[in-house]
A and B are shown apart, each in its own frame.
Chain A
Amino acid sequence: MNGTALTHAVIDGILTGAVYALMATGLTLIFGVMNIINIAQGIFVILGAYLSYALSVHLGIDLFVGLLITIPTLFIVGICVERAFIGRLKGPEKTAMSILVTYAISLIIEGTLNLVFGVNYVQLHSWYVSKSFKVFGIYLPYIYVFGFIMAVVLLGALYVMLYRTRFGASVRASLADHTAAALVGIDVRRVSTICFGIGVAVTAAGGMVYGATNAFNASTSYDLISRLLTIVVLGGLGSLGGALVAGIVMVTLEDVVSVAWSPVWSTMVFFVVLVVVLSVRPQGLFGKQSARVA
């Protein structure tokens, strides 16, 4: 191991971690507002990747330009799913039931994608997918840099929406206390529906970068959802900032361990850190105690 390799690993981790954070942000937003654990988040990422694939291959639309179509499309998909399935979940078992319902949704989408696209692996291509540029002796892949910038922009937009708009105030009120929010006149159901739509919409962007850096098929979603859940648990369920920090920490830690020690231990070390953090802070790095009680 040398300093350059270690620096490279840290940069790789930060660039890639931000994209994972973006995908996980949707998951944690949905949990925070709705107390829904969205197991289907992984398949939504893959759905986003397939939409980018279809636009790129069949219409020749650039991957990033295609986001202008895929993000609204997945927002509408999210709204429909929430109205058809998620919004109907009531009662004290709602969170537990949401795992089963979203798993079922995941299976339905996976089966549909298999029917439409087949099971063969595909990957997104564009000039910037395999090219890189050199900075201080380190090659930085364009796709990771572009993906990082996109993730920062989208997370920034999400931040502005949450903290600088009236709707954002409604979301934060719903995050804090559903009952109190409803009592002051906030339409919590509407807020929940829109948040679910937003949570799914961000997967379009994450899915596009994922599909450009990994060959994928519908079953790839299983690998993704486990990582995304791990990120939101470490960051704290319902915490947007926590998802960002945890996403970057997780991927950077894995990359550094791979280079400094051995790839074999990269995943294990991360989980050791996760267990240690949860032992000290059961609510995760930035989660609130009440989030776990809810």
Chain B
Amino acid sequence: MRFKSSGIRVLGVAAAASCALALTACGSSSSNGSSTIPSGQPVTIGASLSLSGDFSADGQAFQRGYELWAQNQNAAGGLLGHQVKLKIVSDASSPTQVVTNYQKLISVNKVNLTFGPYSTLLSIPAAKIAKRYSYAMVEGAGGGPSVFAAGLTNVFDVTLPVSDDLTPFANWLAALPTSQRPKTVAYVTSNDPFTQPQIPVAQKITNAAGIKTVYNSVFPAEATDFTPIADAVAASKAEVVVLGSVDVPTVSAFMQAFEQAHYNPKAFIATAGPDQGATFAQAVGQNNANGMMVPNSWYPGYDNASSKAMVASYVAKYGGSASDVNADVAEAYSVGQVVAQAVKATGGFDNSKIISYLHSGVTMQSVQGPVKFNNLGQNLLGVAFTFQWQGANFVQVMPTSNPNSVPVLFPKPVWAG
């Protein structure tokens, strides 16, 4: 009986809370932020980031990127004379919590603008909430096709759409002289909206080049034991491995299992992980990192004045060296830069005007290079690069025609232990 009454009480509280939330939502669903802010008052920007949970390393790097941009923007006079005040809350990497967070940021905290969360997985629910309130959702790490297929007109990704990330690598394989071109490739990917769309694009190119797919598998995102999957890849004896990974632990686990199986592919590229700078090298061992590749749209040595200034200010603020700055920081920083240009161009903080401006086809600048959105919110000017660890250096190797690319270390050196 006690259990039953407790259950009813809990249900009652839950129902009341749901009603209150619904009323709050209804009462303010037409809001799109204050277009004018009284003089002397700061402009408040809300963001939900994965400060704990699966994406915590990336989420906290994003936090640094946002905070670094806010610091530099404030040093330059703020936005239209208003100091920038960030309100960042943690979603614990949960698609459910991210919804609650943006709901609260907009309807309770009354933030003027919103920045996106980390990952494709969280960007979709976040952008849907922002759209409900007619807020622009500019983000830097939600480039999966599912974000742009959701029918949202308020979402803008400042980074390259992820589907094309592996294209330079696949094209490079296909263009190798027949005598050097690998004969077989293994594709293995997490069932994540960031990684999965990249695989068929690359596979189409390698198939056309006569490179046979000898292993092709998807593993659940929640998997923690990769040994049997990695052993199966090793057993396929593929000359090239393309791994759809979202973090360092996944790549590290595959590398370790490959080494234990005495399996040395000629080329090994992972969609994320090796781009995490010193973190990756520490986790897998500096010598083992040698030859590992990763696609991305930015790296610390990127030849762009704005990027160099950001790297310098990052090192000044957080210490370390340029190699400690990972791509997440640049993606987050770019979000701030693009929003700042939109605010300046529209002369205020009206989200409707900002959305229209971002859809207007104008070209903006960011630490990742130029940004221009199509009607889906994809950055048309993003360039796909491929980077490789060569010794202790993380260098750009593709597109091979790019003057800043260095020769690819191929075949990849054997595991160093």
Contacts and interface: CB of A to CB of B under 8 A. Distances in A.
B313 to A, nearest CB: 20
Contacts of B223: 263, 266-267
Contacts of B95: none
Interface residues of A, number: 47
Interface string B396-417: 0000000000000000000101
A222 B92 CA distance: 10
Given A119-B56, A219-B53, A267-B220, A131 B260 contact: yes
A227 interface: yes
B235 A121 contact: no
Given A5-B235, A215-B249, A262-B217, A120 B279 contact: yes
A123 B284 contact: yes
Contact of B260 (A132, A259, A268): A132
A5 B415 contact: no
Interface string A263-291: 11011100000000000000000000000
A122 B225 CA distance: 17
B260 A141 contact: yes
A263 B252 contact: no
A271 to B, nearest CB: 11
Given A121-B57, A121-B252, A266-B220, A255 B228 contact: yes
A254 B225 contact: yes
B261 interface: yes
A5 B53 CA distance: 33
| Listed residue (B223, B252, B283) with the most chain A CB atoms within 10 angstroms of its CB | B283
B225 A255 contact: yes
B256 A213 contact: yes
Interface residues of B, number: 44
Contacts of A120: 57, 276, 278-279, 282
Interface of B: 2, 52-54, 56-57, 60, 93, 191, 217-220, 222-225, 227-229, 231-232, 235, 247-249, 252-253, 256-257, 259-262, 276, 278-279, 282-285, 288, 415, 417
Contact of B225 (A119, A216, A217, A251): A251
B228 A215 contact: no
Nearest to B258: A130
Top 9 closest pairs, chain A to chain B, by CB: A263-B219, A215-B249, A120-B279, A215-B283, A255-B228, A132-B260, A258-B228, A215-B252, A141-B260
Contacts of A251: 225
Contacts of A222: 53-54
Given A132-B261, A267-B222, A217 B235 contact: no
A139 B259 CA distance: 10
Contacts of B54: 219, 222-223
Given A139-B260, A217-B57, A258-B229, A110 B217 contact: no
A125 B56 CA distance: 23
A216 B249 contact: yes
Nearest to B227: A12
A216 B217 CA distance: 24
A262 B276 CA distance: 29
A192 to B, nearest CB: 25
A83 interface: no
A254 B256 CA distance: 19
B166 to A, nearest CB: 20
Nearest to A263: B219
Contacts of B219: 258, 263-264, 266
B256 A130 contact: yes
Given A5-B232, A122-B283, A251-B225, A214 B260 contact: no
Nearest to B231: A8
A95 interface: no
Nearest to A92: B2
Contacts of B415: 130
Contacts of A131: 259-260, 417
A214 B253 contact: yes
Contact of A122 (B56, B222, B257, B282): B282
B46 to A, nearest CB: 22
Contact of B249 (A121, A227, A266): A121
28 contacts: A4-B235, A9-B231, A12-B228, A114-B52, A120-B279, A122-B283, A125-B285, A130-B260, A130-B288, A131-B260, A131-B417, A132-B260, A214-B249, A215-B252, A215-B253, A217-B57, A219-B93, A254-B225, A254-B228, A256-B228, A258-B228, A258-B229, A259-B232, A262-B218, A263-B218, A264-B217, A267-B220, A267-B223
A220 interface: yes
Contact of B224 (A219, A227, A256): A227
A121 B220 contact: no
Contacts of B60: 119
